A and B are shown apart, each in its own frame.
Chain A
Amino acid sequence: MTDVANTSLLKEVKPKSSRDDWTMRGFMLMIGAYLLIALAFPLYIMLSKSFESKDGVFIGIDNYIKYFSTPALFNSIENSVIISVVTMVITVTLAFIYAYALTRSCMRFKGFFKIMAMIPILVPSLLPGIGLIYMFGKQGYMKWLLFGETIYGPLGIVIAEVFFTFPHALLIIMTALAISDARLYEAATVLRAPKWKIFLTVTLPGARYGLISAAFVVFTLVITDFGVPKVIGGQYNVLAVDIYKQVIGQQNFSMGAVVSVVLLIPAIFAFYIDRQVQKKQVSQLSARAVPYEPKPDRSFDTWMMSYSSLIVLIIVTILATCQFAALVKFWPYNLSLGLQHYNFDLMDGGGWDSYYNSIQLALWTAAVGTSIVFTGAYMVEKGRGFGAGRTAFQFLAMMPMAVPGMVLGLSYIFFFNNPDNPFNFIYGTMAILVVSTVTHFYTVAHLTAMTALKQMDKEFESVSQSLQQPFYKMFLKVTVPVCTPAILEIAIYLFVNAMTTVSAVVFIYSYHTQLASVAVLNMDDAGDIAPAAAMGMMIFYTNAGARILHTVVSKVLVNKTQAWRQR
């Protein structure tokens, strides 16, 4: 047993790669190259632009010095952080109680409450801003509630951001609460601990990773959001809007790049913390076993139901206000109904074409994005060897999450609008919008695909190789059919987000590729608020329809092609 020493004299075995190995690496390199071109290179160019003057001359950190000596600019940092932190606290608290009601009470209609809470995901973040203006603005019907305060500013931003981030926080916290262990509750109950003590010693600690993770997700969403402060921010400047103002208003691209870099820092920081927490939560999940079953408790269940109803009422009110405002002739003077605000072709913003363009973009994003993301995830998860390449790919796939949409969009101007760039030809086309949207939402889609792939027996590939079958047969005949639910989930995620996103596309749409979400922005900008609300609601109905279609298709497919799931 002393022979280890002589192995150092031996030559290490160099595994020979099969044709499949090379093909899979080829696919991975292609998708990796896509991420480099659509993400890493543009960001790098943007970073370097922040060190250049307007005319493209290198001027070192002069732009940064100017930025930090202009209060109108650097004050936005504080504003952005304040808004984000306040929203974070409120959203996480509200979402936690709502999640608690859904997982720990025996209130009725849980399915209904779950669906209603997800509504904000289906609308562009501009829409709650518009709704609040109709409710609390100069001619708002609930203006008296503010006692003279103005909705234009931090107050309006925070309320709209809470609406916008609520479902994101809810999903994360619900998962965290759902995996907590019933055995702990039983033990605590047997020990006759009072309810509040169980809550403090069992529930909260059990959900802590979920709460932290939700907090950082909300923080990131708010600090990078552009729609809400644009519509309802008034004179209150925040970073994301500053980028827009520098680029669109003042055509000062270098300063836009500086603000982008400033905005990247908190986004990357929050992203990093969130990843660390997520890792911990995963390991917690696998160790847990018995799910908690709540017991009926009349008064508690009634309280929870009242609370949830109130939240749903607020969500519905904001949307219903938008829909109503879109239908009345002249708010608030002539409340008779009509469809004249749907004559989008008469307004700025691209008319009905922008709506059809958005649907086209969403379909392309869903189709192209799902194929790229799932294929990439498969190659990186199931490929053999080439460890360094796989690690690099994983890193590239995680990066988009940390990059705000505005920053990505601006970097696309720098990168793709350069005539020397061989990819310059996609500038101003639908293709660049698809690329930008797919890239912006890459990470979540990638993680969904990875989770599904990791659940498959890792020996499937071993068996297939031993039977000398090519990898694509395995991929097409087994992996894709088995992962169909996850694939559909990715597709609908990309579709919905492509319909609602403003930030990722606002710098790079062209006259021929105007989009519905951008039309909402532009019509609102031009003072056509009712048509903006009308278009925003069109996006909502489209997304709601797509969601319903997704549910039906999933059900049919699962019943039909996945008969094998049932015993």
Chain B
Amino acid sequence: MSANTVGTETGRTPYLTTSNLTKMFGDFTALSDISLEIFEGEFVCFLGPSGCGKTTLLRAIAGLDIQTFGEVTQGGKDVSNLPPSERDFGIVFQSYALFPNLTIRKNIAYGLENRKLPKADIQKRVTELLELVGLISQGNKYPAQLSGGQQQRIALARAIATNPGLLLLDEPLSALDAKVRTHLRHEIKELQRTLGVTTVMVTHDQEEALTMADRIVVMNDGVIEQVGTPLDIYRNPASAFVADFIGTMNFIPGKANGSAVLQMGEVNLDCDPANIRETGDIMVAFRPENLLVQEGDKKLPNSFEAEVKYMEFMGAFFRVDLVSKQANGKAHIKGDFSINMVRRTGVQIGDTITVSIPQDRVSVFPGVN
């Protein structure tokens, strides 16, 4: 990748930008040359494995830990070196960070005070916010008396109380259990849509990012790997890292010779020329759910034979482990078979079946050597 720049959507001015942002901790480069554009009202997720620099980037945007080099602008204003108190954002942390000795109402009112607002208006706004997050009956309790999910909703209410132009969320759901997490995911998204507030959320959970974000910024080792809509990133991962990190991907060694046909062992795969950006030793990549099984005699394109080594029941489908002598004697291929299909065809461990990869579902990445 040359520059980590988001493709500029012509005609719109971004609300938040970072340009060539670099953050050093001593000799260690936590972020290198991050350039991003985020538009008004967008919900953007920073997604990547733990330690890749997501929080560091978020804190630089907030001014909590200012970057070593580079610029940040918000609303057309250069805020690169401003302290947090001179920027315009609300923030929510994984730990909730609710003030334990203040009631819920006082927590939410905290940011509304010292702004020359009449007391009555503050109380009205607090009530409004409590209604918005559905906790109107809890106002006089203390944070420790609420569940984790409720506390996080209060933290959210406190962050948006002053109508900030930007909402920053650092792993807001990671401390919650799975059920609550899914529920709150929808609520946050819903709230963001209603308020239309530009939002940046940090997460290491791909599902969270895919379901909530308008656009995802995939990060790894302090650099941006790819920026795009969830569908875009899932369908057309820009690098092997992204392909592997988001969803599940088969990587099978192969060869590309410049034509639209790839060799995967003895198998020739037709493939969209647009997807072939490499030649020589490459990795053929496709997702398990795109592997088709030939039922009946009608021969599918791009097909080859494979032996079923193992079938793992995943609830909604079977994750099947295949080995194909034709494709590559050693590589294991993962396929997702629907329950219906398995019942129809009666596939079992030990069977040899014919599978195929649709032409438009094959991508190519540089080989590892």
Interface residues of A (CB under 8 A from B): 1, 3-4, 7, 10-18, 20-21, 384, 457, 459-460, 462-470, 473, 477-478, 481-482, 561-567
- Contact A564 B97, CB 8 Å, known A13-B69, A465-B83: no
Contact, CB under 8 Å: A467 / B162:
yes
- B86, CB-defined interface residue at 8 Å: yes
Q: Which residues of chain B come closer than 8 Å to A16, judged between CB atoms?
A: 81-83, 86
Q: Which residues of chain B come closer than 8 Å to A566, judged between CB atoms?
A: 144
Number of interchain pairs (Cβ within 8 Å): 122
Q: Which residues of chain A come closer than 8 Å to B158, judged between CB atoms?
A: 463, 467
7 closest residue pairs by CB, A with B: A467-B111, A564-B142, A18-B83, A3-B33, A465-B84, A459-B97, A15-B66
Contact, CB under 8 Å: A7 / B20:
yes
CA distance A224 to B69 in the complex (A): 52
Q: Among the listed B22, B97, B99, which residue makes an inter-chain contact with A462, where contact means beta carbons less than 8 Å apart?
A: B97
- B29, CB-defined interface residue at 8 Å: yes
- B306, CB-defined interface residue at 8 Å: no
Q: Among the listed B22, B82, B100, B144, which residue makes an inter-chain contact with A4, where contact means beta carbons less than 8 Å apart?
A: B22
Q: Is the interface of B mostly helix, strand, loop or mixed?
A: loop
18 A-B interface contacts by CB (under 8 A): A10-B20, A13-B81, A15-B63, A16-B83, A18-B86, A460-B99, A462-B97, A465-B83, A465-B85, A466-B91, A466-B159, A467-B161, A469-B110, A469-B111, A473-B114, A478-B102, A561-B101, A564-B142
Taking the nearest CB of chain B, how far is it from the CB of A198, in angstroms?
38
Q: Among the listed B64, B68, B84, B223, which residue makes an inter-chain contact with A13, where contact means beta carbons less than 8 Å apart?
A: B68
Q: Which residues of chain A come closer than 8 Å to B113, judged between CB atoms?
A: 469, 473
Find the B residue at minimum CB distance from A15. B66
CA distance A384 to B80 in the complex (A): 16
Contact residues of B between 23 and 81, Cβ < 8 Å to A: 29, 32-33, 62-64, 66-70, 80-81
Q: Which residues of chain A come closer than 8 Å to B64, judged between CB atoms?
A: 462, 465
In the complex, given contacts A13-B69, A467-B111, what are 10 additional A-B residue pairs having Cβ atoms less than 8 angstroms apart? Answer: A1-B1, A1-B32, A3-B32, A16-B83, A17-B83, A469-B110, A477-B99, A561-B101, A564-B101, A567-B144
Taking the nearest CB of chain A, how far is it from the CB of B298, in angstroms?
46
CA distance A11 to B82 in the complex (A): 16
- Contact A7 B69, CB 8 Å, known A469-B111, A482-B101: yes
Find the B residue at minimum CB distance from A462. B64
Taking the nearest CB of chain B, how far is it from the CB of A365, in angstroms?
28
Q: Which residues of chain B come closer than 8 Å to A567, judged between CB atoms?
A: 144-145
Contact, CB under 8 Å: A14 / B81:
yes
- B95, CB-defined interface residue at 8 Å: yes
- B143, CB-defined interface residue at 8 Å: yes
Q: Which residues of chain A come closer than 8 Å to B102, judged between CB atoms?
A: 477-478
Q: Among the listed B20, B82, B99, B142, which residue makes an inter-chain contact with A3, where contact means beta carbons less than 8 Å apart?
A: B20
Contact, CB under 8 Å: B80 / A13:
yes
Q: Among the listed B85, B93, B97, which residue makes an inter-chain contact with A20, where contact means beta carbons less than 8 Å apart?
A: B85
Contact, CB under 8 Å: A12 / B83:
no
- Contact A468 B111, CB 8 Å, known A7-B22, A564-B143: yes
Contact, CB under 8 Å: B81 / A564:
no
Contact, CB under 8 Å: B101 / A478:
yes
Q: Among the listed B20, B90, B114, which residue makes an inter-chain contact with A466, where contact means beta carbons less than 8 Å apart?
A: B90
Find the A residue at minimum CB distance from B60. A13
Q: Which residues of chain B come closer than 8 Å to A17, judged between CB atoms?
A: 83
Contact, CB under 8 Å: A562 / B95:
no
Q: Which residues of chain A come closer than 8 Å to B314, judged between CB atoms?
A: none
Contact, CB under 8 Å: A12 / B68:
yes
Interface residues of B (CB under 8 A from A): 1, 3, 20, 22, 29, 32-33, 62-64, 66-70, 80-87, 89-91, 93, 95, 97, 99-102, 110-111, 113-114, 142-145, 158-159, 161-162, 164, 223
Taking the nearest CB of chain A, how far is it from the CB of B223, in angstroms?
5
- Contact A467 B101, CB 8 Å, known A3-B32, A13-B80, A16-B83: no
Contact, CB under 8 Å: B97 / A463:
yes
CA distance A511 to B142 in the complex (A): 54
CA distance A464 to B62 in the complex (A): 13
CA distance A357 to B100 in the complex (A): 40
Q: Which residues of chain B come closer than 8 Å to A3, judged between CB atoms?
A: 3, 20, 32-33
Contact, CB under 8 Å: B83 / A15:
yes
* Residue of B87, B90, B99, B145 with highest tally of chain A CB at under 10 A: B99
Q: Which residues of chain B come closer than 8 Å to A21, judged between CB atoms?
A: 83
- Contact A460 B67, CB 8 Å, known A3-B3, A468-B85: no
CA distance A16 to B114 in the complex (A): 23
* Residue of B3, B64, B80, B100 with highest tally of chain A CB at under 10 A: B100
Q: Which residues of chain B come closer than 8 Å to A473, judged between CB atoms?
A: 113-114
* Residue of A464, A465, A482 with highest tally of chain B CB at under 10 A: A465
Contact, CB under 8 Å: B83 / A481:
no
Taking the nearest CB of chain B, how far is it from the CB of A484, in angstroms?
9
Q: Which residues of chain A come closer than 8 Å to B223, judged between CB atoms?
A: 1
Q: Which residues of chain B come closer than 8 Å to A467, judged between CB atoms?
A: 90, 110-111, 158, 161-162
Taking the nearest CB of chain B, how far is it from the CB of A34, in angstroms?
27
Q: Which residues of chain B come closer than 8 Å to A466, judged between CB atoms?
A: 62, 84-85, 87, 89-91, 111, 159, 164
CA distance A481 to B86 in the complex (A): 27
CA distance A466 to B110 in the complex (A): 11
Q: Which residues of chain A come closer than 8 Å to B20, judged between CB atoms?
A: 3, 7, 10
CA distance A473 to B85 in the complex (A): 14
CA distance A469 to B100 in the complex (A): 17
Taking the nearest CB of chain A, how far is it from the CB of B67, in angstroms?
6
Contact, CB under 8 Å: A457 / B95:
yes
CA distance A565 to B100 in the complex (A): 8
CA distance A211 to B266 in the complex (A): 71
Find the A residue at minimum CB distance from B32. A4
Find the A residue at minimum CB distance from B220. A1
CA distance A468 to B145 in the complex (A): 27
Find the A residue at minimum CB distance from B67. A13
CA distance A62 to B96 in the complex (A): 65
Taking the nearest CB of chain A, how far is it from the CB of B247, in angstroms?
23
CA distance A465 to B66 in the complex (A): 14
Q: Which residues of chain B come closer than 8 Å to A464, judged between CB atoms?
A: 110
CA distance A567 to B151 in the complex (A): 13
Taking the nearest CB of chain A, how far is it from the CB of B217, in angstroms?
15
Q: Which residues of chain A come closer than 8 Å to B32, judged between CB atoms?
A: 1, 3-4, 7
